[in-house]
Structure 1
Amino acid sequence: MRSSAIREELGVEPLLLRVERSQMRWLGHLVRMPPGRLPGEVFRACPSGRRPPGRPRTRWRDYVSRMAWERLGIPPDELEDVAGEREVWASLLRLLPP
């Protein structure tokens, strides 16, 4: 019996969907966080200094932004505005396709 059939029978969502939804929920918290809270400040910070040679490492912010674009169709420049509206953001996350 396939794992997908077992999950469907038990009514459990796929693990990847659960992780993605959790990351998007945390993004909403970070965007709405008041100034002065450390997690929000780190999220909004622009790193300075030189990077090592080679391909730049993907920042979590860039990863989540790309995921929102691919899964929800929200352009990166509108992401903070949409995530800042709690009810709208929560409804979008409930509609996140598997």
Structure 2
Amino acid sequence: MGFLRRVAGVSLRDKVRSSVIREGLGVEPLLLRIERSQLTLFRHLVRMPPGRLPREVFQLGRDQGWRDDISSLAWERLGIPQSELVDVARERNVWGSLLEPLPRRPDHG
């Protein structure tokens, strides 16, 4: 945020909220960007054919718990029960329509 404040020409003494600065500069919150990337990666790994190394590592990650972190993120953000998550991720149109409501980065166009 320090960098964004300098770019916007705002100091802490100006008492401008970080969300206002990010919105003014067209920068999405980092956590939202990470969540969207995780959900996109999850869908990509689920659709990979069996035997591909990234998919196998992802399946093994179930034992370490990080796979469950992505699953719980999708469940919380999208409202999909974890038992149905893999089936929904395989459906391109359904998954895309679920990700649409997530705030996107503003266009600079």
Q: Same fold (TM over 0.5)?
A: yes
Alignment of 1:43 onto 2:61: no
Q: Any gaps of 5 or more consecutive residues in structure 2?
A: 1-15, 105-109
Alignment of 1:12 onto 2:12: no
Percent identity between matched residues is 67
Cα distance, 1:87 vs structure 2 = 2.5
Matched residue count: 88
Alignment of 1:74 onto 2:80: yes
Query: What is the TM-score when the length of structure 1 is the normalising length?
Result: 0.78
- What code does the residue aligned with 2:22 have? R
**Inter-partner Cα distance in structure 1 for 2:94 and 2:88:** 7
Query: What is the TM-score when the length of structure 2 is the normalising length?
Result: 0.71
Residue by residue over 1:56-78, the C-alpha shift from the partner in whole angstroms, topping out at 9 and shown as x without a partner, is xx511110111111111100000
Coordinate RMSD, CA, aligned: 1.9
Answer with 1 or 2: which has the greater Rg. Answer: 2
| Higher helix proportion (structure 1 or 2) | 2
